[in-house]
């Protein structure tokens, strides 16, 4: 009995130490995110918990599975490349950070700006309902300024304001930190499995 109490104490100590350790970051989960800005795909490869995935390959393919090109992250883990014309969404980016680390990020049609409001009036893409709404939302009262010009100004201002937010949201979508709940759940599972094994073994012994 003393032996099991001893073991219990150690498990309790490890659990407590883990729960109390502040700001424990993921060790080496690698991640990648990207967003569209002015026809360029910008993004970053990173190790959750701080480090950047530098000089790592970024493989780009489209929704049809066709490979579109291979790029690399720079010294800060950043990468950029022009959005290929006529791409079939979703665009898939795969980061290869050596040592068996790999992460991918998918950019949907919305993220690529292919299904929302067309960027310019001469866009011939079939106008979706959203496009109609966007045009209707533009104030028609201003007489001194061309409607189209106004739309472009607003568009630009919005883009500038939203760029950092877009980057952040994209990063959040790819990252998930380990929480205390995950650790507690894992240890709970192990204790539960131990209980199940003990039960099976005791039945085997009795039979």
* Contacts with another protein, residue ranges (CB under 8 A): 3-4, 6-8, 10-11, 14-15, 18, 21, 24-30, 47, 49-52, 54, 94, 97-104, 176, 178, 182-183, 185-187, 189-191, 193-194, 197-198, 201-202, 205
Q: Which pairing describes strands 78-82 and 40-47: parallel, antiparallel, or unpaired?
A: antiparallel
- Whole-number minimum distance, CB 94 to another protein, in Å? 8
- Whole-number minimum distance, CB 197 to another protein, in Å? 6
- Whole-number minimum distance, CB 8 to another protein, in Å? 8
Q: Which is nearer to another protein, 54 or 117 (CB)?
A: 54
CA–CA dist 202, 186 (Å, integer): 24
Q: Which is nearer to another protein, 51 or 116 (CB)?
A: 51
- Whole-number minimum distance, CB 85 to another protein, in Å? 28
Asked whether 137 and 112 are in contact (CB, 8 A), the reply is no
Q: Which is nearer to another protein, 72 or 185 (CB)?
A: 185
Q: Which conformational region is residue 98 in: left (phi greater than 0), alpha (psi within -120 to 50 degrees), or beta?
A: left
Q: Which is nearer to another protein, 10 or 64 (CB)?
A: 10
Q: How far is residue 186 from each of residues 95, 173, 179, 180, measured CA to CA in Å?
A: 28, 24, 11, 10
Q: Which is nearer to another protein, 21 or 169 (CB)?
A: 21
CA–CA dist 68, 88 (Å, integer): 11
Q: Which conformational region is residue 102 in: left (phi greater than 0), alpha (psi within -120 to 50 degrees), or beta?
A: beta
E-assigned strands of the chain? 30-37, 40-47, 57-61, 67-72, 78-82, 91-96, 102-107
Q: Which is nearer to another protein, 29 or 147 (CB)?
A: 29
- Whole-number minimum distance, CB 128 to another protein, in Å? 33
- Whole-number minimum distance, CB 88 to another protein, in Å? 21
Cβ neighbors of 106 (< 8 A, separation 6 or more) are 90, 91, 92, 93
């Amino acid at each position: 009995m003393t032996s099991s109490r001893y073991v219990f104490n150690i498990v309790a100590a490890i659990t407590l130490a883990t729960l109390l350790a502040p700001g424990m970051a993921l060790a080496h989960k690698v991640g990648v995110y990207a967003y569209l800005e002015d026809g360029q795909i910008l993004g970053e490869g990173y190790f959750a918990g701080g480090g950047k995935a530098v000089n790592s390959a970024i493989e780009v393919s489209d929704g049809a599975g066709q490979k579109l090109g291979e790029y690399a992250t720079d010294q800060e883990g950043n990468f950029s490349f022009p959005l290929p014309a006529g791409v079939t969404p979703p665009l898939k980016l795969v980061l290869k950070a050596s040592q068996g680390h790999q992460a991918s990020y998918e950019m949907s049609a919305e993220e690529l700006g292919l299904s929302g409001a067309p960027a310019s009036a001469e866009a011939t893409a079939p106008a979706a309902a959203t496009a109609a709404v966007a045009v209707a939302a533009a104030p028609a009262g201003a007489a001194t300024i061309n409607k189209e010009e106004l739309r472009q100004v607003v568009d630009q201002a919005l883009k500038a304001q939203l760029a950092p937010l877009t980057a952040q949201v994209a990063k959040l979508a790819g990252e998930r930190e380990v929480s205390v709940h995950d650790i507690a759940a894992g240890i709970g599972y192990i204790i539960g499995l131990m209980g199940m094994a003990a039960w099976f073994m005791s039945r085997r012994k009795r039979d």
